[in-house]
Structure 1
């Protein structure tokens, strides 16, 4: 028994049914864009698609073209108001969504449908401007099959062929094209990243910033997305030593920490003077796009990382930078040394920049520094001794580590040391550096990532945005810059064990985790391992890996010419193989007999049994005997099938099969005749 809604859909004419299916596919393709488009565009697209669906269900007339022109002008103005331009990635995607939804309002003929199909393919590709994740790829494959189904259905003959038949044809075409797609993916010369368009550089992504305001990293810690994955070649260092260095912040204006001024005279420069020792740690990093030139490496890397397509340079503060922003997933190999020293060993002029504090800020912290300097116990203390005093204060003074310390005011260090006594890593690091500078000890803030977690499924060390961290470097005479992590004094578990402050989970995630914590962890690890495999083997299939593949199959010094030769050879070989298979298949299998066999099998499901020796005329007689006039179209088709194979006159439509056929003369139907028969077969309405 069909429900009223399903019965209504079944009773729709073909145009209405096909329109609703196409609208559903377009909605699926546009759905991932909803959160990235301006609100008016997402709501407008949804309203237009629903309106067009209502018109198809009710069989109402489409709006006049003048109204479409008015809507187009309004949406162009809204696009310009939202983006400040009609060019670029974001504005272009907005216009694309506007065009495809408005085009559905003039979907009158097959020509209009073809325009919507191809706009749909462009909209599908535009999703990859923002995300190349496995989930996006899978959802767009579904959208691709939907668009192909609609396209195949538009080419099918008149009548009302089932959508399932068009879907099977579309799926077959997709499967037949998959090997060619794989060959093109492997051998087509890799160029600049397709999805890292120039406008991407104008749009920030989640991650660390070139500056730090108290509270900013606590906000970043709410983001649990993956920042990078690390694969260690040997033994993994202890988690407490996993400091991935990023921007170094040395200038303080009272509220915000910034990098050292680039306009400083050369005499203030502090050479890196990096000295490494101990056992090296080789590893490979797969870094997510950041739109920044920063390369995150374990402290400290003395040699440049191997980064195909980029050039890496180490700054005087040990931060590694690429020659251009990282707009695409990159993978690089590096070697680091957990034991190192850097910076000047003796007092130099440039260290004064790391002692300066803006006037008028944090008076109580300055007073605390003066008090410590006057204390007889610390009168002769060096920098290491005063650092220990500050660390003891953090450890024993009732300070706590939290994601939500509340909004800090003008004097952030005073509030932390004396009032709130709670904060996230940047609150603690900033207050610590201000106290050190008040004690005339050069100090600066280093931002980056610390820790992470091992994925037991694939063996990669996963570093998330929530692992973003800020620590301190203090200069000590005779030793140079030394790492000090004041957060470890407040919360030792932050750096020494798997203890992270995490944002509250949603109701569904929390219920699932409470129901089966182990299962939840395994599902998450498996999903992330699958995503990592997608990143490693698909998104990160670079030109270097492509050329390495050619080396593996015997090319000594592969280049573009070898790729082109191999690609052309593969395409020619596939074409010859396909043509040969088609010729062999036709010579070995009679297409007329195959079409008759399809009809026999389908009739067998309706209760009409036959053998390979049963002729089409006999089948036609059985159809009329069982179904009467309802089976007349199928009877006529079977008689036409027999006529194409045997010379003679086919009966006119509606005639019976009581006459006796003359001795037939067997002939081979032409491709055109068989194609016409297949079309008729596809639109037959089989008796129930």
Structure 2
């Protein structure tokens, strides 16, 4: 196969290489493109490749016009617009493919090169991960190789030679790219992802339909990373990271109450030493900031306004559309909420009329039980938890079909569920007992990556638990899932779908190796996130502070960048002058003599030696140009004689005094 490719004409070989680079650019886009776009681009590129191999003529412009019209109609039918990120990327992909059908001259190739550079950047609209960056680096080197190769019009230069030149160019440009990355001002919203870049991301929501967290738990992606300061790491059973609090129930779906955003309630009381930590939150297009329960102060999140709610949530002023890092301080021992029953708590005992009648009847039965009559809330809660422990209930990702009365189905029919099934049924029963209760969603647990010592919260760690109001204590966390499956809370036992045969075989043979490779890869990704994706304007200003600026500002950042650019320009100019001085001074003196001959009407090629130049002078001017002829012969002797008759500086001085004929 390689010999056949080498036997192709250069135009065909170069075209196939360029088409391969375009395929590498478009490959990461496939999951985000409409199926017809991927199919059409693949057909066009394959068609163009076959034309190059078979040396057949390119199609007429009517083919391109027809394909472009089909693309416009299909794009509008798919996205309902020709503008925006998704529609724009679809169009640019097809335009890049169609442009190859008119690749006839170097000018067309240059248009494809620069269109390819632009298309390459659109990959970062969807992902800025390390694999994407690596794939785009390969694409960049491929485009630079094709560009260098296009500037070698003579002969059949090997692609390896063009690749070496392209690699050298990339290495020379790397310092400039590093300086621009470090110092180029990151001004929101110009710097960052488009507003719709996070569409389709999984994560916690402001509502919970029974079964949705079970679906989220199947996603093993990373939601956040946590780095605790020092050795103060909470007990595993206390790692509850608080997210949306849900208190409104319509019989099947829980929703967050529309509360005014304000600082947390003044009755929050904390005990013990604070736990300080740093959270690196993955993009979610949601405003909630995960904090360990309970955080009395707003997380330190630069470039965002952070607001609090009365139920201990912390919310950013805008959805988190890119990777963010913030510091927080929490207390695992706390108490908050009113200590006496108030009218506002009535909202937390409300149930839809007629919903879950068997659960309501169970509550009435419990209230009529002499052993529970007049019992405090704590006793009722313990009674329900004991029912969960001993009543044959199970913790599972596949609880079967739930109807509209989800609490009834859990308590009396399936007796099986995931954390949101259990929490929802528990809170409904509490409310039926006239006990204020609500659902808290977030993440519970995590795992320590021993490579970089970060705690990793995955979507599979998503959890739902309950909060119950108790007289004299306020709101108290109750995790009914722990009554059914203590391992879920204490030892972080996670439910997961059955792996495939190949994955199961690999894990069974080398489980420790698989875990080690996974931890190493995630640590590398975390380093990329911390040092590259999370390099924000605040970190730029901190860099200036570290080099001596007392109160750095955006103007100082621009000033430093300009000073470095001017210094680099002066250094480049100096290097150019030095390089010119290092060029062969003999050749430079010969070029000056050739210029004098041209003024005298004698035009000689660059490769003409001094002896032939002297002969041309003798033919044209005879003895009148004898001095110039002698000087040219001495110049040749200085270059080639074993013992030069004159030194080059002497010949240079004679050249300035010499009178040339005209």
Pick the TM interval, shorter chain. Answer: 0.7 to 0.9
Show CA shifts across 1:517-569 (max 9, x none).
11111111111111101111111111111111111111111112221221122
Whether 1:280 and 2:274 are equivalent positions in the alignment is yes
Q: How does 1:506-521 map to 2 (within 5 A)?
A: 506-521=500-515
Give the CA deviation at 1:403: 1.2
Q: What per-residue deviation string (whole Å, max 9, x for no partner) do you get for residues 569-593 of structure 1? A: 2122223323333443454575999
Match 1:260 to one of 257, 261, 269? 257
Q: For residues 446 and 20 of structure 1, do their structure 2 counterparts lie closer, same or farther at Cα, with a shift above 3 Å needed?
A: same
3-state SS of paired residue (2:277): strand
The counterpart of 1:419, out of the listed 413, 421, 430, is: 413
Separation in structure 2 between the aligned mates of residue 263 and residue 569 of structure 1, nearest angstrom: 48
Q: Distance in 2 between matches of 1:325 and 1:443?
A: 28
Question: Are the equivalent residues in 1 in contact too, given 2:268–2:336 (CA < 8 A)?
Answer: yes
Report the counterpart of residue 170 of structure 1 in structure 2. 166
- Is 1:199 paired with 2:196? yes
Whichever of the two has the greater Rg, that structure is 2
Residue 270 (structure 1) shift: 11
Whole-Å Cα distance in 1 between the matches of residues 610 and 423 of structure 2? 92
Q: Which residue of 1 aligns with 2:450?
A: 456
Partner of 1:573: 567
Following the alignment from structure 2 to structure 1, what is the Cα–Cα distance between the partners of residues 286 and 521?
Answer: 27
1:542 to 2:542 alignment: no
Q: Which residue of structure 2 aligns with residue 604 of structure 1? A: none
C-alpha distance after superposition, 1:10-38 (max 9, x if no partner): 11111111111111111111101101111
1:32 aligns with 2:28: yes
**SS in structure 2 of the partner of residue 483 of structure 1:** strand
Kindly indicate whether residue 348 of structure 2 is the aligned counterpart of residue 354 of structure 1: yes
- 1:503 positional shift: 3.0
Q: CA deviation at 1:198?
A: 2.5
The structure-2 alpha-carbon separation of the partners of 1:390 and 1:507, relative to structure 1 and needing over 3 Å to count, comes to same
Gaps (5+ residues) in structure 2? 588-604, 615-632, 641-662
Q: Which residue is 1:18 aligned to?
A: 14
In 2, the alpha carbon distance for the partners of 1:535 and 1:544 equals 16
Q: Give the corresponding residue for 1:184.
A: 180
Q: Structure 1 residues 563, 195: closer, same or farther in 2, change over 3 A?
A: closer
Whether contact under 8 Å (2:448, 2:455) holds in the other structure is yes
Alignment partner of 1:198: what SS?
Answer: coil
Per-residue deviation at 1:380? Answer: 2.1
Q: Find out whether 1:323 has 2:320 as its counterpart.
A: no
Structure 1 residue aligned with 2:236: 239
Relative to 1, partners in 2 of residues 1:79 and 1:665: Cα closer, same or farther, differing over 3 Å? Answer: farther
Kindly tell me: are residues 387 and 115 of structure 1, through their superposed partners in 2, closer, same or farther at Cα, counting changes over 3 Å? same
2:264 and 2:312 in contact (8 A); partners too: no
Does 2:148 match 1:124? Answer: no
Equivalents in 2 of 1:250, 1:51: separation in Å?
Answer: 59
8 Å CA contact retained: 1:187, 1:567 = yes
Shift, 1:7, TM fit = 2.4
Partners of 2:586 and 2:639 within 8 A in 1: no
> Corresponding residue for 2:478?
484
For 2:210 and 2:638, the matched residues in 1 are separated by: 90
Within 2, Cα distance between the matches of 1:591 and 1:399? Answer: 93
Q: Given that residues 248 and 259 in structure 1 are in contact (C-alpha distance below 8 angstroms), is that contact kept between their aligned partners in structure 2?
A: yes
Q: Report the Cα distance in structure 2 between the residues aligned to 1:272 and 1:404, rounded to whole angstroms.
A: 42
**What per-residue deviation string (whole Å, max 9, x for no partner) do you get for residues 465-512 of structure 1?**
111000000111111110000010111111111311123334443332
C-alpha distance in structure 2 between counterparts of 1:342 and 1:647, whole Å = 101
- 1: distance between equivalents of 2:518 and 2:287? 30
Aligned mates of 1:12, 1:163 — CA distance in 2: 14
Aligned residues of 1:647 and 1:665 also touching (Cα < 8 A) = no
Q: Determine which of 99, 109, 113 is the counterpart of 1:113.
A: 109
Compute the displacement of 1:214 (Å): 0.7
Task: Look up the match of 1:676.
Answer: none
Q: Structure 1's 340 and 645: CA in aligned 2 closer, same or farther, altered over 3 A?
A: farther
What TM-score does the superposition give when structure 1 sets the normalisation length? 0.84
- The answer on whether the counterparts of 2:259 and 2:309 sit within 8 Å (CA) in structure 1 is no
Contact 1:452–1:462 (Cα < 8 Å) also in 2: yes
Name the structure 2 match of 1:368. Answer: 362
1:160: which partner in 2?
156
* C-alpha separation in 2, matches of 1:517 and 1:500: 17
Change beyond 3 A, Cα 1:564–1:270: closer
Q: Does residue 388 of structure 1 match 2:382?
A: yes
Question: What is the aligned counterpart of 1:218 among 191, 214, 218?
Answer: 214
Cα RMSD (Å):
2.3
CA, structure 1 residues 583+365, in 2 after alignment: closer, same or farther (shift >3 Å)? same
In the aligned structure 1, how far is the partner of 2:497 from the partner of 2:76? 37
Whether the aligned pair in 1 keeps the contact of 2:217 and 2:496 (CA below 8 Å) is yes
Cα offset for 1:645? 7.0
State the secondary structure of the residue aligned to 1:248: strand
Given that residues 297 and 329 in structure 2 are in contact (C-alpha distance below 8 angstroms), is that contact kept between their aligned partners in structure 1?
A: yes
In structure 1, C-alpha distance between the alignment counterparts of 2:502 and 2:582, rounded to whole Å: 58
Aligned equivalents of 1:116 and 1:182: distance in 2? 27
Q: CA, structure 1 residues 371+272, in 2 after alignment: closer, same or farther (shift >3 Å)?
A: farther
Q: 1:272 to 1:385 in 2, by over 3 A?
A: farther
The yes-or-no answer on 1:209 pairing with 2:205 is yes
Q: 1:558 aligns with which of 541, 552, 556?
A: 552
